[in-house]
Structure 1
Amino acid sequence: MTLWPTSIPASLSHENQSNTVDGVCRYDRNSLMFTVVPVYIGIISALGIILNVFVLMVFCLHKKACTVAEIYLSNLAAADLFLVSMLPFWAVNVAKRYTWPFGESLCKLVPFSITMNAYCSIYTLVLVSIDRYLALVHPLTTESVRRPLYAKLACVVVWGVCVLLNVPVLIYRKIRESDTACFNAYPTETKKETETAINITNVILSFIIPILIIFFCTLKIIHALRNRLRDSLNTEGKEQKATTLILIVLLAFLICWVPYHVIKILDLLSRHNILTRCDMYLNLTQQIFFYFAFFNSVLNPILYVCVGRNFRKKVKEVFSQMSNKRKSTFSLVSTRTNLSRSVGTQEATKSSAYL
């Protein structure tokens, strides 16, 4: 299932503006969404860029190397930054009532950024869940596996796999000549079969499989934490803090993205006449949950600051590093200035002596 609204706004067609055309619900051209959604996306984009750049700067500028958990969180921030950097183009598209003014390259790249964010985020959280599972359930036997180098390699693999999973977006996303709409142009002769195959494959790969893995690991993590508390065993401080932050980030992702995935599954069922979309208002709810999911890219860095004690400590240390660096630079400049003045004075004294 492509992670993209499958509904066709009224502006994308010159057909009769009825409630449904070819079984697809349509929008009124004067719908409030064309004014509210662009403003919402603009705010999300601005906040997301500022906050995620801040998170990446903290992780990159800190003098200590990132832990395994921090590598995964920085990878999550990078995926969020990629998304919010592309969202202003989509905001303009909505404001123009789904008329695409940016050319075919961006018509492919902007949807690609959204699908990449969804895939990379959920599979990064799969890595995070597995890491926490190994750290708390099998802490002794898997210590050699949980290394920063392996975490970086795992992130590279995730990005590579996500690019492959999103190749259909780059292939089929095109601009329609009749109304300059950016849409999925599947081959006419096999349109239904191609769309169905892509939808079913992506439902399994982008939602069902990762959610099952995350659910399994989370249950084991919670069970391990309960056992440690019951047995009066103290979990190592850093591991416990990292686990708390990651579980909250995981919960935030599920709250933001699961409703959209569920609606997309219902939408897929409706396309095979199992459900009637307009009767169940699937079209409207799909749009609402789609745009609500963007909020996750802003929520993550806020959670790092509010919940992550280690992250707040890193922030203070980074600012302290920068302050010390400025002081040392200022001191060096002052020393050089004083030295230059001293040399100048000595040269003047020697000149006067010769005279």
Structure 2
Amino acid sequence: MDTDLDQNYSCTNLYDHRPVARVLIPLAYSIICPVGLLGNALALHVIFLNITKLNSITLYSANLAVSDILFCLSLPLRAVYYGLGFHWPMGEGLCKAITLLFYVNCYAGVNFMTCLAIDRFVALVFPMKLTKWRKVKNARLVCIAIWLLVLAQTLPLLTIRLTKKEHDNNITCMEYPNFEGLFKGLPFLLIIGVGIGFVVPLVTIIACYSILTRKLRLAAKSNRLTERSGRTKKARGVIAGVVFVFMVCFGPYHLDLLQYMIRKLIYDPDCKELQSFQISLHITVCLMNLNSCLDPFVYFFACKGYKQKLMRMMKWQVGTHFSSVGRTSHESSGTGDMRASRRNTGMTMNNVREAQ
């Protein structure tokens, strides 16, 4: 433990990437935060508009959206911290609050995405046997249990000091070197955390996707209509979306943490290795933050109302654009062309209706 502390204080190169980080990381957060807030707020809006049709999948989606919104709310102050060159002038209490908000909603999101994948799996593979587990009442209990579990896992962060004064008088917040040397079993604890928080959910989701894909492939061979079913496409879309978000956003961070903790168990990494780990952590945490922007793609498959609302918004934007172009063109060509155009449009719409 003393060796870790001594090395931590002797390493003066841990934040040498400050000039690049203070520009790129706040820039990334300035994009992730508004996009994540908008996409998840739209999901909540759609879900509450259809509150009478609430089911297990929309309930998990709503909780995922809430966790993403809270997650995004922690990003502006983190962006300020990075913009100031890894300096936190806002005190220990606010650092703890932001850290708790960050990790609680990160791992709540992981668990709710796992629930979405399991729900779609059960709905198609065991539609009759396990239907009672997908009732809204049971889904509510699962959501409450997830929030309590994640809080229990992260509340211990409030008992330790998360800020640290560096050799250059900068105060860092929520940085890995601030935890090193606090207790001897830190690598073991973090490895267990990676296993529970990432490996178990990932294996569960991949298993659901693999079994479901195999079942659908076998069903498609015997019945072509099964392959074209909107329900099966929805299930595969939800689980594939969750796997994609897991691999892109959560995979790099947890694998990076895992490899360094394994090295810590074998030998004491030097300052150069610790600095490389610091840089990689800042990059992979940015990727992990990206999940709040990618989760709306999961809602696109999970929530029918979300997909319809998004498509209507896109059509309205495109329609508005072409209407403005059309008006300019018609004004220059005269009213006779305008009337002819309207007649042609009316004929075309009638033909489409007849074809439908």
User: After TM superposition, is the score higher than 0.5?
Assistant: yes
Change (3 A) 1:88 1:267: same
The alpha carbon displacement at 1:182 in A equals 2.1
Give the alignment's TM-score, normalised by structure 2. 0.74
The alpha carbon displacement at 1:317 in A equals 9.2
Distance between the aligned counterparts of 2:72 and 2:238, measured in 1? 22
Change (3 A) 1:273 1:287: farther
Contact 2:164 2:172 in 1 (8 A): yes
1:269 equivalent in alignment to 2:262: yes
Aligned to 2:198: 207
Aligned to 1:167: 155
Aligned to 1:221: 212
Identical-pair percentage: 22
Aligned to 2:42: 54
Counterpart pick for 1:296 among 267, 271, 291: 291
1:244 equivalent in alignment to 2:236: yes
RMSD: 3.1
Describe the superposition over 1:68-105 as per-residue Cα deviations: whole angstroms up to 9, x where unpaired.
Answer: 22221222111111110111011111111221122222
Aligned to 2:251: 258
Contact 2:58 2:303 in 1 (8 A): no
Distance between the aligned counterparts of 1:144 and 1:303, measured in 2? 24
Letter in structure 1 aligned against 2:117? S
Contact 2:205 2:243 in 1 (8 A): no
Distance between the aligned counterparts of 1:284 and 1:203, measured in 2? 19
Q: For 1:84-99, what aligned pairs fall within 5 Å after superposition?
A: 84-99=72-87
Distance between the aligned counterparts of 1:284 and 1:39, measured in 2? 17
Q: For 1:24-35, what aligned pairs fall within 5 Å after superposition?
A: 26-28=14-16, 30-35=18-23
Distance between the aligned counterparts of 1:264 and 1:30, measured in 2? 21
Letter in structure 1 aligned against 2:214? H
Counterpart pick for 1:135 among 100, 120, 123: 123
Gaps of at least 5 residues in structure 1 are 1-7, 19-25, 319-355
Contact 2:238 2:298 in 1 (8 A): no
The alpha carbon displacement at 1:263 in A equals 0.8
Letter in structure 2 aligned against 1:47? V
Contact 2:213 2:236 in 1 (8 A): no
Distance between the aligned counterparts of 2:180 and 2:24, measured in 1? 34
Aligned to 2:112: 124
Letter in structure 1 aligned against 2:204? I
Change (3 A) 1:32 1:317: closer
**Segment of structure 1 superposing worse, 136-145 or 89-98:** 136-145
The alpha carbon displacement at 1:49 in A equals 1.4
Letter in structure 2 aligned against 1:257? F
Structure number with larger C-alpha Rg: 1
The alpha carbon displacement at 1:271 in A equals 2.0
Distance between the aligned counterparts of 1:154 and 1:308, measured in 2? 19
SS of the residue aligned with 2:173? Answer: strand
The alpha carbon displacement at 1:59 in A equals 0.7
Distance between the aligned counterparts of 1:219 and 1:182, measured in 2? 41
Distance between the aligned counterparts of 2:139 and 2:213, measured in 1? 23
Change (3 A) 1:285 1:145: same
Contact 2:68 2:292 in 1 (8 A): yes
Structure number with the higher helix fraction is 2
